[in-house]
Amino acid sequence: MPGRGMPMSRLKPRSEYEKTGSFRFWRWLAGSRDPYVGEVEMKAQIPKEPRELTIRERMQERQELLTRVYDIENNKKIAFFHRIYVLAAVVFCLCFAGILVAMVSMLPPTGEADRPVNNEVPARYIESGLQETGAVNIVTGMILDYRAFDTFGESNVLFAATTTVLILLHEKKKKREDGTFEEIPSDRLLEPKQDAILQASATVLVPVIILFGIYVILNGHLSPGGGFSGGAIIGAGLILYLSAFGFEKTEKLFTEKTYKYVSFGALTTYCLAKSYSFFTGANHLESHIPLGTPGAILSSGLILVLNICVGMVVACTMYTFYVMFRKGDF
Amino acid sequence: MGNLLVNYGEAAAMILFVIGFSNLLLHKNLIKKIIGLNIMDSAIYLFLAEKGYIAGRTVPIVVDGVQSVEAYINPIPAGLVLTGIVVSVSVSALMLSLTIRLYRRYHTLDLDEISTLLKKEGV
Amino acid sequence: MTLFQVILLLFLLVCAVSVSFSKNLLNSVLIYMSFSLIMSIVWVTLQSPDLAITEAAVGAGITSLLFFATLKKIHAIDTLQRQGRAIQDPQPDGEAEGDRQGKAAKEESREPAGAGKGDAHE
């Protein structure tokens, strides 16, 4: 039965076309059939029936639950199991600590140069890192040039984590009868309102914090810091601004759309900047941008761009985490 | 004893790891378990950074064009830990949001109580 | 430098142990925050300032904020003010006395808030 959005073919009859792989692919792409239904055993979460309990009833239910879980005097089996479990856990932890410390005592001594960790790989990074990447800070040169794909994957981990938190903590707006949406009860009710000390100190601190974050990002290839730390500092500044002035002010600056566009744009820029070498032969990840003088801000090729991308992703991620934990919606 | 007195940093990292692990085993509260997992993370990062440390050498930032291996510490563990710290934040945010969902449904953070309630629901 | 490092590592161990022994969740989160701060000083002594900046911003800043927001959501922060009322309630004795009192206090604090503020957090 061809439904809406089902793929069609002009060359083959329908019964034959439905056996091909391309039919399944297009059907999956159109989303008209879930490939897991019928193939994988799935168990839906039982929806909890909303039940209005009085306070007394709820307390009584809780007491029953507590007796069932913790009735240690009467239920000898639970008490015995509890005691055995604690004993076994403590013994296991002590043995584990003993084994690990014994292992540490057999490792080569810390702080010596001829440990097996210090082989030719870090030597290469130190000796020719400046010429090959143009970054004065060797750690930044390493994670954003030699190992840039690693960092790209990590930015995607951040993006995936934010998406999951958005799914888990998102609160749907209830639609009223006249078409408008109900306001989500914000937790501003539980916060101190218009705190003068907090607002005064935030007025002074927020610009400085955000400016410092931008400095740390832009100087990532010259001094300690980089995209991760600078992004986290900017995110912390935004969070301070939010908790001092509330959602009405920050909504002008940062909404869900901002998050979408900024992180998608940053991740795409990163991906294109680093994966174009696949199309130019994929011999090595060499960029054709001049590296510039080491020590100048506009130097070291792509590293500055990648640092800014990573910083934007991290700042958006941190701020979105906090907003989702506070309110459940932007 | 071996090198235990020289490797005090690594030994401390291992003991921290075990303390975090015992938090996971002995506590029933989910928040305490998440803090324990974070402590385990930090212990592993400390162990890695101690691996790359070389006494008497400085930060791997090129100063005055000095590019000999004898001047700088090993930059690789620093890079690994840098990515790890940021990933650990997203992991703990994920765990905390799952905790909030569990609390909304069962009104408790105790794992024993949650599993009793689950049995009662027949899952 | 060695003595300084040893003292910092001892601080770390003390913080990690006291996280598991503190009864109040807010206290253990605060102790974890100081753990992260000490960790960032340890990074400086290990010649990795990149890690120190990141740990101070991420570990001590953002992670603790997320923990605080979670505690707010699960109504564990205002335990302290209601503690006095919770202790007066009859509670069965048992091994997990402290834990249970904290829970009961949480439960206690939940109900008036829910009744008075129109389920602002449900």
**pLDDT tens-digit profile of C46-69?**
888 888 988 898 888 889 989 988
pLDDT at residue C77, rounded to an integer: 63
Same structural domain, C8 and C62: yes
- Pairwise CA distance, residues A37 & A29, whole Å: 15
Mutate which of A137, A239, A325 to disrupt the C interface (most C C-beta within 10 Å)?
A325
Which of the listed residues C73, C88, C106 is the one where a domain comes to its end? C73
| Interchain proximity A232–C61, CB inside 8 Å | yes
Mean of per-residue pLDDT scores for chain C: 71
- Of these ranges, A159-168, A191-200, B103-112, the one predicted with the greatest mean pLDDT is A159-168
* A89 inside domain: yes
Q: What are phi and psi of A113, to 5 degrees?
A: -80, -25
| Domains held by chain A: number | 3
Same structural domain, A83 and A5: no
User: What residues of chain B lie within 8 A of the CB of A113, using their CB?
Assistant: 54, 57, 70
Q: Name the more confident of C22 and A279.
A: C22
Q: Which of B20, B22, B59 sits opposite C49 (nearest CB)?
A: B59
Same structural domain, A61 and A2: no
Q: Name the more confident of A166 and A282.
A: A166
Same structural domain, C56 and C96: no
Same structural domain, C45 and C94: no
Same structural domain, A146 and A294: yes
Same structural domain, C40 and C85: no
pLDDT, mean of residues C80-84: 47
Identify the three-state secondary structure at position A181: strand
Domain ranges for chain B, please list them: 8-121
From the CA of B123, how many Å to the nearest CA of chain C?
A: 24
- pLDDT reading at C105 higher than 60: no
Q: Which residues of A268-294 are buried (b: 16+ CB within 10 A; e: fewer)?
A: eebeebbeeeeeeeeeebebeeebeeb
Q: Is A303 on the interface with C (CB under 8 A)?
A: no
* A113 inside domain: no
- Pairwise CA distance, residues C35 & C19, whole Å: 9
Q: Is B104 on the interface with A (CB under 8 A)?
A: no
pLDDT at residue C84, rounded to an integer: 43
From start to end of chain A, where are the E strands? none
* A122 inside domain: no
Same structural domain, A278 and A239: yes
Same structural domain, A237 and A303: yes
| Domains held by chain C: number | 2
* A211 inside domain: yes
User: What residues of chain A lie within 8 A of the CB of C53, using their CB?
Assistant: 216, 224-225, 229, 233
Locus of tokens 């003292």: C7
Q: Is A111 on the interface with B (CB under 8 A)?
A: yes
Same structural domain, C19 and C57: yes
Same structural domain, A147 and A30: no
Identify the three-state secondary structure at position A290: coil
Q: What is each CA distance from C83 to A6, A11, A158, C24, C69, in whole angstroms?
A: 61, 76, 39, 11, 21
ipTM over 0.90: no
CATH topology of domain B8-121: Helix Hairpins (1.10.287)
Same structural domain, C12 and C49: yes
Q: Name the more confident of A108 and A31.
A: A108
Same structural domain, A94 and A192: no
- Pairwise CA distance, residues B50 & C51, whole Å: 13
From the CA of B20, how many Å to the nearest CA of chain A?
A: 10
- C37: containing domain: 2-73
Mean of per-residue pLDDT scores for chain A: 79
Q: Is A134 on the interface with B (CB under 8 A)?
A: no
Q: Do A224 and A137 touch, CB atoms closer than 8 A?
A: yes
Same structural domain, C69 and C83: no
Task: Report the first-to-last Cα separation within chain A, whole angstroms.
Answer: 42
Write out the two tokens for A51. 């039940």
Q: What is each CA distance from B96 to A152, A171, A321, C59, in whole angstroms?
A: 25, 16, 10, 15
Same structural domain, C94 and C60: no
Locus of tokens 């949406």: A181
Identify the three-state secondary structure at position B58: strand
Q: Is B105 on the interface with A (CB under 8 A)?
A: yes
Q: Is B14 on the interface with C (CB under 8 A)?
A: no
Provide the greatest CA pair distance for chain B: 70
* C121 inside domain: no
- Pairwise CA distance, residues A46 & A44, whole Å: 6
| pLDDT band at residue B21 under the 50/70/90 scheme | very high
pLDDT, mean of residues A214-242: 89
| Interchain proximity A67–C62, CB inside 8 Å | no
User: What residues of chain A lie within 8 A of the CB of B9, using their CB?
Assistant: 110
- A292: containing domain: 137-174+187-326
**Closest-CA residue in chain C for B57?**
C47
| pLDDT band at residue A166 under the 50/70/90 scheme | confident
Q: Name the more confident of C68 and B68.
A: C68
* A26 inside domain: yes
The C-alpha angle with vertex B17 and arms to B42 and A117, in degrees rounded to 5, equals: 70
Same structural domain, A35 and A64: no
From the CA of C68, how many Å to the nearest CA of chain B?
A: 10
Same structural domain, C7 and C56: yes
User: What residues of chain A lie within 8 A of the CB of B43, using their CB?
Assistant: none
Q: Which of C62, C69, C70 sits opposite A232 (nearest CB)?
A: C62
- Pairwise CA distance, residues B97 & B113, whole Å: 19
The C-alpha angle with vertex A88 and arms to A82 and A92, in degrees rounded to 5, equals: 145
Mutate which of B29, B40, B62 to disrupt the A interface (most A C-beta within 10 Å)?
B62
Same structural domain, A228 and A313: yes
* A228 inside domain: yes
Q: Is A236 on the interface with C (CB under 8 A)?
A: yes
